[in-house]
Structure 1
Amino acid sequence: MLAAVGRPVPDIPHATSVSLPTWRSNVGYEEGEEWVVSKMQTGYPRFFIHLIIQELEKEILSQYGRSGERVMLFPSRRTAQRCQAFFQDKRSEVSVRLLHLEPTSSQLKNTKYVLSKLSCVFFPADEFPTAKQVWQHSGSGISSRRGEFCLKALKEGYLVPVEGPAPVTSSHHDLFSKGPRRYQRGTSQSGIQYGMNGHIQPQANGNHVNGSDFQDQDQFIEERFGRNLNAENAARVKLAIRRRIAGSLTEDLELDDALAASESGQQKCQQDHNVEGERLRYGSEDDVYLYPTGMNAIFSAHLLVMEEAQRRGRPPLKSVCFGFPYIDTLKVLEKWGPGAKFYGNGTDEDLDDLERRLESGERFAALFTEFPSNPLLRSPNLARIRQLGDKYDFVVVVDETVGNYININVLPHADIVVSSLTKIFTGECNVMGGSLVLNHSQRLWKQLNDVLQEQYEDNYWAEDAVFMERNSRDFVSRIERINVNAEATAATLQKSPFVKEVYYPSLVPSKKYYDACKTPNGGYGGLLSVTFHNKEHAPIFFDNLAIQKGPSLGTNFSLSCPFVLLAHYNELDWVQQFGVDPYLVRISVGLEDPAEMNNVCEKALEAITQS
């Protein structure tokens, strides 16, 4: 049964999607209509501040707020300072103040368990849209699980104020906090030990995350940790995630067994240079960095590029956004730093234009692109982009979220690969996360690595990491099944006379570029989009499509949304110049039986006939 308007999808406390089951409800949400907005119990976490976090905000305002203020919450001083700097840059006349909360001294004496700091940005209530831009675009706000933890700690008196930092600059090129290299062996804000590469260091003789029966949310944490998450366990969970992304951990095993298997698997890969070894030759777990969200990984890549350029003495340069991207990527490039050159079609002709500009002396700091793009599933010519990057000295950043590293290997063409782990990597739609991978074989690796070694801070909340690790254990087998299901769904939709176009990596003109990066056993992923000859047919199809409706993708269950309406409602005329149909319906195909999904699509198409 489809969830009612505003209900979490799935119906659990920390769901990362929300039900908007009809075309009209999506329009009502964008228009702010009361009948929709009043029913919103949750939303996609970067667009909707979770009710638990809203409760925490109210508690902080009641204790530390001033009349007429609102507050936005971040996991560290540095992330809060970036929000303050954004205000100073965009709204310099607005008074913004910071408050930092830390565990009490008695709590800090015991570093066995994970603790949390909390940084609060207070601002005039009518300036909320400015603060919301930072929350949404940078993806650096606290997660609902961290909010739940902090709310309990605050109410029980375990989070107390500390003296605030010195004022921060609003310079675009001082977006990283300066200071000594932090990746010496020492204690983090959570009492977790860090190694020289900036990643959490697993400790010997710890209590590890084991158990065969996975249960969601509080019960899982309660049973495994008694609500006190051991720091050593958290370290091992994050190590497992990083190894899974690097390619050395592929087994669907309990944590201890998986880490042991990945140790031997990594050694074998390095000896044999097999398929997984091809990934490992370009990087290892030491080149994988975890972030609270996929957008935070992209945002951090952008800051990294600017910082690295500054250290080399390069002037401030725009970056290129190549291909029609997920909305926030372009916003990050435009709102932080010197701006962006946007190639919305991402075609070979666009590359021709870029090359002419470069030949004439124009320079760029980086090129950001998706492979394939969302929602048009187009794949750029990465080999040519790599050649241009090497020749004209710009960083190549590739977002592989939609393709995912089981289906494609884009790392040889990139300096940095980013991904939203919130999507198919977790599948369960109950946790956020992101990753950034440096390509060890590229010429700028050392410069980029030096910046990350000094400036990276691990803000990925340990409870979120626990769920991410557990959910991703069957990642490989899920991908294989979803590839088959999505291809069958695309074929069904193609046959309908009502359908104008099906966008899928194997069906669009850029297929050859996707195939050039496809792994030997890879497929074309689980995401597709469909448009109709008659725009009036899109709402009929969508309303009668008997799968869950809401934002996000890569879920284990099929999920659909009128993506362009949700992402670009106030700029529909603008998106059409890049071939993006406002009436496009995006479908993320899940693990259901292909025949079942085929039947669902056929019934939705039949509804058009009967209309």
Structure 2
Amino acid sequence: MSAFPPLPLGQPIPDCLHGVSCSLPTMRDVIGYEEKNPAVTAHLDSGYPRFVVHRFNRQLATLIATELSLSDHDIWLTCSARVATALVGELSDAHTSLIHHDGVHGVAHRRDPDLFNHAKRYLQNIGGFLSSREAEDRLAARGLIAVAPETLAPTATAATTVREVLTQAHAGARHEDILLAPSGMNAFHGAWRSLAALQAERGRTVWIQLGWLYLDTIAQLRRFTASPADYVNITDVNDLTALDEALAAAGNRLAGLVTEVPTNPLVQTADIAAVARKVHAAGGRVLLDPTLVSPFNIRLLEHSDVVVNSLTKYAANEGDVIAGSVIINPAGSDAAALRHRIAAALDPVYPRDLARLAAQVPAYESTVLQTNRTAIDVVEFLRQHPAVREVYWSLQPATAENYLKIARSPAHIGSMISFTLRRPLAEVYDRLPLAKGPSFGMQTSLICPFIYLAHYDLVTTPEGRAQLAAAGIDYELLRLSVGTEPVSEIIAALESALSAPTPA
């Protein structure tokens, strides 16, 4: 019997009300999910919370629409009044209105597919949806459901508990340098927009993206830079010559640079110390994101002005909380101003989400260390398997030296591994017994065809595939997040799919 029992389409991962992933067991399911095929979406009551609106949120929105006589409108419930106001401005539609009803904030707009997609994409980009736990509590207060039991830390000390662990993860940070947000993208939004506004006051509006970054990070940089010319994309993290040229071209208009360390999904690491020196010398500011491997593996604060991190990964290691953090370098030139501005720009974390996070965060470092140990064996297995074409991990030859400069030790490799195949993707993916769905950094090993989920628009056109190829990305890449299961079981699961006979 497999150590990884098959998960049906749509089952939350983990199997609880607020699991942040959901099972997409076949490539047909993945494509159906992306194309909004009712045969697939009918099975999805939840999913990654910035992409799939939780059933509690939908139920509460329907109830509020009825109570406000707005049943002929689409309703979006938001994590704050500020996000609702921003969404109204973003939609710029005369038939869009704010909702503030029984303590819940949101937006109503006339039924229109373009408005619907615009609103959903905006809230996804900035992490602005109402917490599913808040929706659950609101429904329970109306007597419609009972709140499911779960382990929570004391609410009064939850924020302190989380900050205490984060000061251990980010060497040099103090409690006052650590700001919490309801998601990693909300943290990025508040931090980067605040940093951009501060630099814009100095006439500096040019932002450099270094490397192929996460979908919504790219979307925000493109959406919110002052003009298209102020967004500069350098795909190769090792191309310091291109960076020098971009810095020279920007001159005194340089605002700063954003990169992930390592990048998602190619797990590539820039020479962060060299990059930061160049940007700072040119008057820019540096925002870094260590989410892919976690700050318990690498030290970044000394090279950055701001570090942004999704606490959904590794910190919430049981996989049922969405949250984020902003860490301000206390030695940075703008530390005091940023501390004030970013704190004012972030949205609040719902108290029960924070209490749930605080119950899991004591295992943050131990989870990271355990998955580090497992990952090295998984990497070696994949590198030697004849069905695997290429393996991307923190110590891949092209950027290993850069990673080791910031790693806590050579053993702190991270648990994220991407790889490409010498066999058709569906042949391997459909047979994998591992949990299959979006997200990473939980105790459960999790694998997904990342490019299909993050950039389906590029996968499905020749131009998009050419763009991915130019960035060195195979659109059939698999991204594996190694969990805490025994390494022998993880390898056996991979072997069963990689070495299965080709179908007749």
TM-score normalized with structure 1 length: 0.76
Q: Match of 1:22, as an amino acid?
A: T
Counterpart residue identity of residue 104, structure 2: L
Q: Distance in 2 between matches of 1:361 and 1:433?
A: 34
Partner residue in 1 for 2:28: 24
Counterpart residue number, 1:565: 452
- Could you say which residue in structure 2 is the equivalent of 1:87? 91
Deviation at 1:41, TM superposition (A): 2.1
Choose the corresponding residue for 1:555, options 405, 417, 442: 442
Aligned residue number for residue 136 of structure 1: 124
Cα pair 1:499 1:531 within 8 Å, conserved: yes
> 2:439 corresponds to which letter in structure 1?
S
Aligned-residue Cα RMSD (Å) equals 2.1
* Pairwise CA distance, 1:450: 3.3
* In the alignment, structure 1 residue 354 sits paired with structure 2 residue 243: yes
For the residues of structure 2 that align with 1:548 and 1:152, how far apart are their CA atoms? Answer: 31
Assess, with a 3 A threshold, how the Cα gap between structure 1 residues 508 and 118 changes in structure 2: closer, same or farther.
farther
Q: Which residue identity does 1:317 align to in structure 2?
A: T
Seen in structure 2, the aligned counterparts of structure 1 residues 357 and 95 have a Cα distance that, compared at 3 Å, is: same
Letter in 1 for 2:442: T
Partner of 1:285: 175
1:122 is aligned to 2:15: no
Equivalence map 1:209-608=2 (5 Å): 218-220=148-150, 233-247=154-168, 279-280=170-171, 282-310=172-200, 313-315=201-203, 317-338=205-226, 339=228, 341-343=231-233, 345-349=235-239, 351-362=240-251, 363-453=253-343, 455-457=344-346, 459-520=348-409, 523-534=412-423, 536=424, 538-572=425-459, 573=465, 574-608=467-501
The answer (yes or no) to whether the contact 1:540–1:608 under 8 Å persists in 2 is no
Matches of 1:96 and 1:610 in 2, distance apart?
A: 53
Letter in 2 for 1:306: A
| Identity within the alignment, % | 28
- Equivalent residue for 1:46? 50
Q: Report the CA distance shift for 1:67/1:407 in structure 2 as closer, same or farther (over 3 A).
A: closer
Give 1:600 shift: 1.5
Q: 2:347 and 2:195 mapped to 1: Cα distance?
A: 19
CA distance in 1, matches of 2:117, 2:397: 38
Structure-2 separation of matches of 1:417 and 1:67: 42
1: CA distance, partners of 2:94 / 2:120: 15
Residue identity opposite 1:130 in structure 2? H
Higher deviation after alignment, 295-304 or 521-530: 521-530
* Code of the aligned partner of 1:49: V
| Partner residue in 2 for 1:165 | none
Q: Deviation per CA, 1:163-183: give whole Å up to 9, x if none.
A: xxxxxxxxxxxxxxxxxxxxx
How far did residue 368 of structure 1 move? 1.1
The alignment partner of 2:244 has SS state of helix
Residue 151 of structure 1 pairs with residue 139 of structure 2:
yes
2:21 pairs with 1:9:
no
Pair 235,392 (structure 1): closer, same or farther in 2 beyond 3 Å: farther
C-alpha contact (below 8 Å) 1:379/1:505 kept by paired residues: yes
Q: How far off its partner does 1:425 sit? A: 1.4
Question: Quick one: structure 1 residues 235 and 342, their matched pair in 2 at CA, closer, same or farther if it must change by over 3 Å?
Answer: farther
Task: Compute the displacement of 1:65 (Å).
Answer: 4.1
Residue 327 of structure 1 aligns with an amino acid whose one-letter code is L
CA distance in 2, matches of 1:473, 1:522: 21
Q: Which amino acid aligns with 2:35?
A: E
Greater displacement, 289-298 / 444-453: 444-453
State the distance in 2 between where 1:543 and 1:328 align.
27
- In the TM superposition, what whole-angstrom CA distance separates every residue of 1:206-235 from its partner, at most 9, and x where no partner exists? xxxxxxxxxxx83236xx79xxxxxxx424
Q: Which moved more, 1:77-86 or 1:479-488?
A: 77-86
Question: AA paired with 1:47?
Answer: F
Q: Distance in 2 between matches of 1:304 and 1:445?
A: 12
Shift of 1:342: 4.3
Shift of 1:47: 0.3
Alpha-carbon offset, residue 521 of structure 1: 7.2
Number of aligned residue pairs: give it: 487
Q: Is the 8 A contact 1:406 1:522 kept in 2?
A: no
Cα contact 2:234–2:243 (8 A) shared by 1: no
CA distance in structure 2 between the aligned counterparts of 1:140 and 1:242, rounded to whole angstroms:
22
The answer to which structure, 1 or 2, has the higher relative contact order (CA under 8 A, 6+ apart) is: 2
The amino acid across from 1:128 in the alignment is F
Give the whole-Å Cα distance in 2 for the aligned partners of 1:595 and 1:378.
27
Secondary structure, counterpart of 2:294 in structure 1: coil
- Spell out, residue by residue over 1:221-267, the C-alpha distance to the aligned partner (whole angstroms, 9 max, x if none): 6xx79xxxxxxx424111110111111xxxxxxxxxxxxxxxxxxxx
Q: How far does residue 95 in structure 1 lie from its aligned partner after superposition?
A: 2.8
State the AA in 2 paired with 1:389.
Answer: V
Distance 1:482 1:240 in 2: 23
State the 1:67 CA deviation: 5.6
Match of 2:462 in 1: none
Give the deviation of 1:510 after TM superposition. Answer: 0.6
> In 1, are the aligned partners of 2:300 and 2:406 still within 8 Å (CA)?
yes
Cα offsets for 1:501-545 (capped at 9, x unmatched): 0011112411111100001375111110110234x1x22221222
- Confirm or deny: 8 A CA contact 1:562 1:585 kept in the other structure: yes
Deviation of the 1:315 alpha carbon: 3.1
TM-score scaled by structure 2?
0.92
1:71 partnered with 2:75: yes
Contact 2:259-2:287 at 8 Å conserved across structures:
yes
Query: Contact between 1:344 and 1:578, CA under 8 Å: does it hold in 2?
Result: no
The residue identity in structure 1 corresponding to 2:132 is: S
* 374 and 608 in structure 1: CA distance in 2 versus 1, 3 angstrom threshold: farther
Residue-by-residue CA offset, 1:454-476 (whole Å, 9 max, x unaligned): x2455101111111111121122
Give the Cα–Cα distance (whole angstroms) in 1 for the partners of residues 192 and 455 of structure 2: 22
Q: What is the one-letter code of the residue matched to 1:541?
A: V
Partner SS for 1:482: helix
Superposed displacement of residue 32, structure 1: 2.2
Separation of aligned partners in 2, 1:511 and 1:519: 14
Task: Please state how far the C-alpha of 1:609 moved relative to its aligned partner.
Answer: 5.7
SS of the residue 1:290 aligns to:
strand
Which residues of structure 2 form unaligned runs of 5+? 460-464
Residue identity in the other structure for 2:428? F
In the TM superposition, what is the alpha-carbon distance from 1:352 to its structure 2 partner? 1.4
Paired residue secondary structure (2:308)? strand
Aligned residue identity for 2:259:
T
State the partner residue of 1:175.
none
